[in-house]
A and B are shown apart, each in its own frame.
Chain A
C-alpha cells in the first residue's frame, strides 16, 4: 500500500541512499542491457532481414586430409554446394551469392569515381530479403541466365552517383565496365551483414569458371518455410555430407561437417570460415555468466543499501507488526517498494544503454576493412529501432525483477524477523 508515496518520502528524506540505490540499479541494468543489445543485434529482425529467424547461410567448406596432416576451409565449389544444399525439404527459396565481394570503383562515364561495396547476387536473393524498392525492380531469372550486366543501387549510392533516386534504366560503370541500373532500394544498415551492400550486382554463379574440385566462391543463403526448424535442415545436410564422404575418402580426404547451414546468430558469433564451427551453446553459457556477474555484483552492493534504508524504518516495521502485519506482508511491502526503485533505475539504465550503444557502436560492431571504405559505413550505427525492441524492454524488466529479488529479499526477510517489541524499542 502506498508504495509510491513511501519511495517519494525516502527520496526526500534519505536522498543519498535512495539516489545511490537508483544509480546503482541504473548502472547494473545499463551494463547488462548493453551486452544484451550488442548480442541481439545479430538476431534482430528488421528489413530487409525481417525473416532472419528463417534464414540459413552456408559459406565455408572444410576438407581434411584423412592422415590428419592438412586441413583447409574455403568457399564452396558450386557443384558441391548444389549437392549439399539444393532440394532440401523445408526450404522455400535458395540463393547463390558470389563470396568475392571486393569493393568496386563505381562512376558515371567520365565522372567522379566512388568506392562502393557490392553484393553479387542472383534473382532468388530478392525473395529472401525484403528490400524496399524506391524505383525499378529486382533481377529476373532470364537476366541471371543471360549473365546480363545489371545492378540494383541503394538510395545513397544512387544519390552519390546521380544526385537523385529515380534512376532505373540509367547506365553506370563498375570497375570500368558498363552496367544498367534496373532498380533502386532503400539503404541497408551495415550491421545487417548478410544483406548490406552499396549496390547489388547480378551474378550468375554457374557462369564462373572454377577448376578446383572442392572449393569455390559460392555462398548459399536459404529461406526456410514457416514452421520449419533449422535443425531439421541441418540434419538433412549432415546426411548429404555422409553421402559425399565416400567420394572424398577415395582421394584420402574427409569433408568435415560443422553444423552448416548456420543461423544468423551462429554466423555472428564467428567460427565462420575457420576449421571450427560456431559453438552457440558455449557462447550462450558465456553470455549468461557475464549477465549473472553483471547482476550479482551490484545486487550485493544494493542489498547493503536496502539494509541501510531499512535501518531507518525499523520502528515503522514494528508499528506495522503491532497492528497486525504478518511477516510476509512486511516482506511484500519491502520488495514492492524496492521493485519500484529498481524499475525506475532500470528504465534509466535501459535508456542510457540504448544511447550508449548507439553512440559508441564503433566499439561494439566491427566492420571489415573493405566495408569501412564503402559509402555508408562511415556513419554506420544501429538504427534506434534495432536497439529499442520490446524484447529488450522485457529483458530489462526481467533483470530488474531479478536484481530486486537478489538485493531486497535478504534485507526484507531480516527486517520481518525482528520482534515487534524490539523494533518499537528502536525509536524509544
Chain B
C-alpha cells in the first residue's frame, strides 16, 4: 500500500530573469514501511523532492497524496498540523535550536501539538532519549555535543511525535564514517522495528544500497 504518491509533479523556480525546472514530471510511489534512498548529483532536485514530500514546499503542478490525503487543498495551518503528526525530519546540518537544551529540542514537535501535557512531553522525551542512548545529555545544549550526538538528538526529535514517515536529507553528510554508520543503524532500526517509512537523500552509494530501493534523479528527472 502506497503511503506517499507523487503524480505528474513539476517544480519550477522562477526569478525575473530565468526559470529553472527543478523537478520534471515526477511520478513516484513509496510503500508503507519502505526505506527508499534518493540519489543523484548535486542540483538534480533531490532536496526539492524531499521538501515537496515533506510538505515544506509546494509543487508548481501535480498532486501529492500522503496517507490517502491529497495535500494540494490543505491550507498553511492544515499543512503544519499534518507535518506535525505524520512527518519527521532529519537534516544534514542537524538544525538543532542552539538556545534550547537537548530535551527541549527533542520536545519541539510535541510543543506544537495540542492536547499533550507537560508531563506526557517529559516522559516521551525521556523515553526517546533513552532509546537513542542520550538520556545523560538531556540538559546539555547542542554546542556541547559531538556531531554524532547532535544527529541522534535530531533523530529523537524526528520520531518523538511518532510520525509514520521520516524524511532524512543527507543525514550522514556532516559525520565521519563511524558516526555515519551509527546514524544509519538507527534509521534502519526505526524502519525495521517501528515500521516507519523512511525516505533518505544521500550521496553515499553503499548506504543507499542497504536500503529497500534507490530512486535516481538527473536534471530534475527520475531516471531509475
B104 part of interface (Cβ distance < 8 Å): yes
Once the chains bind, are A325 and B80 in contact (CB under 8 Å)? Answer: yes
**Given the complex, which residues of B lie within 8 Å of A142, measured CB to CB?**
none
Question: Scoring B residues 96 to 135 as 1 if CB is less than 8 Å from chain A, else 0, what string do you get?
Answer: 0111100010001101110000000000000000000000
With contacts A9-B99, A421-B57 known, is A320 near B108, CB below 8 A? Answer: yes
Question: Scoring B residues 55 to 97 as 1 if CB is less than 8 Å from chain A, else 0, what string do you get?
Answer: 0110000000000000000001100110111000101110101
Q: How far is the CB of B71 from chain A (nearest CB, A)?
A: 14
Question: Scoring B residues 155 to 187 as 1 if CB is less than 8 Å from chain A, else 0, what string do you get?
Answer: 001000100000000000000000000000000
Q: Please report the C-alpha to C-alpha distance between residue A402 and residue B83 in the assembled complex, in whole angstroms.
A: 34
Size category, A interface: 20 to 34
A322 part of interface (Cβ distance < 8 Å): yes
**Given the complex, which residues of B lie within 8 Å of A329, measured CB to CB?**
112
Once the chains bind, are A324 and B84 in contact (CB under 8 Å)? Answer: yes
**Given the complex, which residues of B lie within 8 Å of A320, measured CB to CB?**
97, 108, 112
Partner of B93, one of A321, A422, A428: A428
Once the chains bind, are B80 and A421 in contact (CB under 8 Å)? Answer: no
With contacts A419-B56, A420-B56, A427-B93 known, is A325 near B112, CB below 8 A? Answer: yes
**Given the complex, which residues of B lie within 8 Å of A5, measured CB to CB?**
99-100
B220 part of interface (Cβ distance < 8 Å): no
Interface SS of chain A:
helix
Once the chains bind, are A319 and B95 in contact (CB under 8 Å)? Answer: yes
Q: How far is the CB of B156 from chain A (nearest CB, A)?
A: 12
B33 part of interface (Cβ distance < 8 Å): no
Q: Please report the C-alpha to C-alpha distance between residue A9 and residue B57 in the assembled complex, in whole angstroms.
A: 30
B40 part of interface (Cβ distance < 8 Å): no
A315 part of interface (Cβ distance < 8 Å): yes
Residue of B whose beta carbon sits closest to that of A328: B77
Q: Please report the C-alpha to C-alpha distance between residue A425 and residue B112 in the assembled complex, in whole angstroms.
A: 22
Once the chains bind, are B100 and A326 in contact (CB under 8 Å)? Answer: no
Q: Please report the C-alpha to C-alpha distance between residue A321 and residue B79 in the assembled complex, in whole angstroms.
A: 10
**Given the complex, which residues of B lie within 8 Å of A325, measured CB to CB?**
80, 112
6 closest A-B pairs by beta carbon, nearest first, are A324-B84, A9-B99, A421-B57, A324-B112, A421-B51, A421-B56
Q: Which residues of A contact B (CB under 8 A)?
A: 1-2, 5-6, 8-10, 13, 315-316, 318-327, 329, 419-422, 424-425, 427-428
Some 21 contacts from A to B, beta carbons below 8 A apart, are A1-B104, A1-B111, A9-B98, A13-B98, A318-B56, A320-B108, A322-B56, A322-B83, A323-B84, A323-B89, A323-B108, A324-B80, A324-B84, A326-B76, A326-B81, A419-B56, A420-B51, A420-B57, A421-B56, A424-B95, A428-B92
